[in-house]
Amino acid sequence: MENSFLLEKLQENFPDKIVEIPDAHHLLTVLVDVEDVIDILRFLKGSNELQFIHLTDITAAHYPHLEKEFAIVYHIHSLVHNIRIRVKVFLDGPNPEIPTATVVWKGANWMERETYDFFGVNFLGHPDLRRILNVDDMDVFPMRKEYPLEDPNRVDKKDLYFGR
Amino acid sequence: MSEFISKMTSNQPVFDDNDPQDELITLNIGPTHPATHGVFQNVVQIDGERIVSGVSTIGYIHRAFEKIAEHRPFYQITPLTDRLNYCSAPINNMGWHMTVEKLLKIEIPKRVQYMRVIVMELARIADHIICNGILGVDTGAFSGFLYVMQEREFIYEIFEEICGARLTTNIGRIGGFERDFNAIAFEKIREFLNRYPPVLKEFEEMFVRNRIFIERTSGVAAVTPEEALDYSWSGPILRATGVDYDVRVQNPYCSYEEFDFEVPVGTTGDVYDRFMVRNEEMWQSLRIIEQALEKIEKEPKGVFHAEVPDFYLPPKEQVYTNMEALIYHFKIVMGEVDTPKAEVYHAVEGANGELGFYLIHDGGRSPYRLHFRRPSFVNYQMFAPMSAGMLISDAIINMSSLNVIAGELDA
């Protein structure tokens, strides 16, 4: 199965709701809206033609400089046709919300808990949205870019000292 | 009082056996329990010996690798990957190198690819030795564990010969290896191919038709392929349910498509099948190593890295005498090399399943975001739900057969 066929199928079923992001490594990357994401995931899994039955990963990335700060990234794999797809959803900060994918795959449970733990993304409808790797009484979301790993006063790693 | 006495003397039971809430005991398995083989906790409610419900608590050795990786150049992230699945660190190292090479579009010479295959398959055997050996220990058969553990020690000797380290190997570099395999390393790999089959055969004979082992494992924690896929399982435990998903076959890397090997699958997805799948995978790994050694013979000798001076450090002695080498050395160490802005997802078949690296790169010195898709983390989430209704002893061997490595679980 080719990426173009997959994209065509998606656009056929969700007209004007799928935006392709060019990817240098031939992994079809689509940008979708938060309202449609569960429908699209359901379609990808349930469609007899596509059969994206294996949820590989859910994670997030934080772009503080963008208007929509948070990107939720789903990697899904059609084991039958041996093709992967990356679905991206951008969310508004600072309290991003997105419907849970646990209604489509049970395996999304811990992946979403991890994403919540590190980015503070609220997965609406998640059965057990608690922190998973960090301690329960932590009050920050450490993978957000505003939390520096090292002492922010350190200057020996600042780019401007290296002429860039 | 008289009511109590009449109850005691009557034929009616004191406690109502049909009431599941009656006399439940809360038991902590872990965080430092020998049965967990690592630092993670399960709080279970038990009714006698049966588990009614359980909650997994993980994160005891969380070391924030994803955050640290955002502040490190690519070559300094390799030691972090060592500490994910520390039973098969070379697979993690290679997976990370390949992710960066995919980002940088570096073409790796065939000989190096075969060398990587050897290292990865040795690591897979070492990992499966641990899992199957300890599964034996958990079912009460201790000696088999000791037999195969000796061979794992020998694999570590090979790693030591190749890279100088045993457990957290930091093996290879972006673009190839740090040095060629020396003659002793090749000799030891050949020796391993000769000495391991009889040991594995003996180990196999102790378990495969062993009545005690079969009764302890057969039918225990059986998982259907639908459930396994629903929970995003991958690796040997998914194949034990009958789904033939192996990253080495579906998305070949390192020229795995050139190798002749089989992907063993089970039928019932129980602990016995998982044991058998891992066992057969060790035989297949031996086949792959043998073929890789043959293929290396046909390749030009002495090639151990790609010619990418922008990313591969020059030999140290040249750095002091050769201007060009000095410049490259400086640029690599200071992170002054231009790198493309891109997103890469690369997966390798780790010993426990699909080990994925999702790298978002903005052209800087370190990744903008790096996410590890860790098979132990994804596989383990089914443990608590599937333990409900199980005997404690069955849950323990189920945990053992999932081969959850705490480092990979927590990252």
Under the banding of pLDDT at 50, 70 and 90, the label for residue B16 is low
- On chain B, the residues whose CB falls within 8 A of the CB of A157 are 71
The amino acid that residue B386 corresponds to is M
Q: Does B233 touch chain A (CB under 8 A)?
A: yes
For B40-53, write each residue's pLDDT tens digit.
Answer: 889 999 988 899 99
In angstroms, the separation between the Cα of residue B199 and the nearest Cα of chain A is 35
Q: Does A51 touch chain B (CB under 8 A)?
A: no
Q: Does B243 touch chain A (CB under 8 A)?
A: yes
The number of beta carbons lying within 10 Å of the beta carbon of residue B318 is 15
Q: Is the pLDDT of residue B6 over 80?
A: no
**Smallest CA–CA distance from B103 into chain A, residue:** A25
Strands A97-99 and A122-124, how do they pair?
parallel
Q: Are residues B100 and B121 in the same domain?
A: yes
Q: Does B68 touch chain A (CB under 8 A)?
A: yes
Q: What is the DSSP string of chain A?
A: --HHHHHHHHHHHSTTT-EEEP-TTS-EEEEE-TTTHHHHHHHHHH-TTT---EEEEEEEEE-TTSSS-EEEEEEEEETTTTEEEEEEEEE-SSS-EEE-STTT-TTHHHHHHHHHHHH--EEET-TT---SSS-TT--S-TTSTTS-SS-TT--TT-GGGGT-
Contact B358 A59 (CB under 8 A): yes
**Smallest CA–CA distance from B374 into chain A, residue:** A57
Under the banding of pLDDT at 50, 70 and 90, the label for residue B238 is very high
Q: Does B245 touch chain A (CB under 8 A)?
A: yes
- Is position B404 within any domain? no
Look at A30-44, B4-18, B150-164, B319-333 and tell me which has the smallest mean pLDDT: B4-18
C-alpha span between B407 and B84 (Å, rounded): 5
> Do the beta carbons of residue B402 and residue B56 sit within 8 Å?
no
C-alpha span between A72 and A33 (Å, rounded): 11
Look at A18-22, A84-88, A102-106, A153-157 and tell me which has the smallest mean pLDDT: A153-157
Q: Does B343 touch chain A (CB under 8 A)?
A: yes
Q: For an interface test with A, give the residue of B56, B101, B230, B354 to mutate (most A CBs within 10 A).
A: B230
The number of beta carbons lying within 10 Å of the beta carbon of residue B283 is 17
- Is position B354 within any domain? yes
Q: Is the pLDDT of residue B14 over 90?
A: no
| Nearest CB partner across the interface for A134, out of B59, B251, B354 | B59
Q: For an interface test with B, give the residue of A57, A87, A88, A159 to mutate (most B CBs within 10 A).
A: A57
**CATH number assigned to the domain comprising residue B110:** 1.10.645.10
Q: Does A118 touch chain B (CB under 8 A)?
A: yes
| Nearest CB partner across the interface for B229, out of A53, A75, A82 | A53
- According to the model, what pLDDT value does residue B1 have? 46
Look at A29-43, B29-43, B239-253, B371-385 and tell me which has the smallest mean pLDDT: B29-43
Mean pLDDT over A88-101 rounds to 93
ipTM of the complex: 0.92
In this prediction, what percent of chain B has a pLDDT beyond 90? 78
Q: Is the pLDDT of residue B13 over 60?
A: no
- The three-point CA angle B243-B138-B283 to 5° equals 45
**Smallest CA–CA distance from B335 into chain A, residue:** A162
The full set of domain ranges for chain A reads 3-162
Q: Are residues B13 and B105 in the same domain?
A: no
Structurally, chain B folds into a number of domains equal to 2
Contact B342 A25 (CB under 8 A): yes
The number of beta carbons lying within 10 Å of the beta carbon of residue B261 is 18
Contact A82 B250 (CB under 8 A): yes
- Is position B198 within any domain? yes
- On chain B, the residues whose CB falls within 8 A of the CB of A105 are 230-232
For residue B202, the enclosing domain spans 65-399
Q: Are residues B19 and B164 in the same domain?
A: no
- Is position B229 within any domain? yes
Nearest to A76 by CA among A48, A102, A105, A36: A105
CATH class of A3-162: alpha beta
> Tokens at residue B150, please?
């000796």
Q: Is the pLDDT of residue B349 over 90?
A: yes
Q: Could you tell me the end-to-end alpha-carbon distance of chain B, in angstroms, rounded to an integer?
A: 58
Q: Which of B7-11, B18-22, B68-72 has the highest mean pLDDT?
A: B68-72
> Tokens at residue B361, please?
């790169």
Contact A84 B345 (CB under 8 A): yes
Q: Are residues B11 and B141 in the same domain?
A: no
Last residue of a domain, one of B16, B32, B57: B57
Q: Are residues B52 and B71 in the same domain?
A: no
Residue with tokens 């790993």: A149
Q: Are residues B23 and B51 in the same domain?
A: yes
The amino acid that residue B272 corresponds to is Y
**Smallest CA–CA distance from A86 into chain B, residue:** B345
- According to the model, what pLDDT value does residue B21 have? 57
**Smallest CA–CA distance from B336 into chain A, residue:** A162
Contact B334 A106 (CB under 8 A): no
**Smallest CA–CA distance from B343 into chain A, residue:** A23
> Tokens at residue B195, please?
């000495």
In angstroms, the separation between the Cα of residue B280 and the nearest Cα of chain A is 22
Look at A22-26, B92-96, B370-374 and tell me which has the smallest mean pLDDT: A22-26
C-alpha span between B214 and B336 (Å, rounded): 59
Contact A107 B232 (CB under 8 A): yes
Q: What is the DSSP string of B131-151?
A: HHHHHHHHTT--HHHHHHHHH
Q: Does A82 touch chain B (CB under 8 A)?
A: yes
- Is position B406 within any domain? no
- On chain B, the residues whose CB falls within 8 A of the CB of A86 are 343, 345
| Nearest CB partner across the interface for B59, out of A23, A108, A133 | A133
Last residue of a domain, one of B11, B40, B57: B57
Residue with tokens 């390799």: B78
Q: Are residues B201 and B260 in the same domain?
A: yes
> Do the beta carbons of residue B380 and residue B402 sit within 8 Å?
yes
Q: For an interface test with A, give the residue of B369, B402, B408 to mutate (most A CBs within 10 A).
A: B369
Q: Is the pLDDT of residue A155 over 90?
A: no
Quote the mean pLDDT of chain B: 90
- According to the model, what pLDDT value does residue B17 have? 61
- The three-point CA angle B325-B327-B331 to 5° equals 115
For B266-303, write each residue's pLDDT tens digit.
Answer: 999 999 999 999 999 999 999 999 999 999 999 999 99
Element (H, E) at B8: helix B2-9
Contact A107 B411 (CB under 8 A): no
Q: Does A105 touch chain B (CB under 8 A)?
A: yes
C-alpha span between B170 and B189 (Å, rounded): 19
Whole-Å CA distances, B319 to B174, B175, B330: 19, 19, 9
Q: Are residues B158 and B219 in the same domain?
A: yes
Q: Are residues B38 and B147 in the same domain?
A: no
DSSP state of B348: E
In angstroms, the separation between the Cα of residue A78 and the nearest Cα of chain B is 11
Preceding amide of B309 cis, omega within 30: no
- According to the model, what pLDDT value does residue A75 have? 95
**Smallest CA–CA distance from B334 into chain A, residue:** A162
Last residue of a domain, one of B11, B36, B57: B57
Q: Is the pLDDT of residue A30 over 90?
A: yes
> Do the beta carbons of residue B46 and residue B22 sit within 8 Å?
no
- On chain A, the residues whose CB falls within 8 A of the CB of B233 are 107
Contact B368 A61 (CB under 8 A): yes
Quote the mean pLDDT of chain A: 89
Q: Is the pLDDT of residue B4 over 90?
A: no
Contact A57 B230 (CB under 8 A): no
- On chain B, the residues whose CB falls within 8 A of the CB of A131 are 59
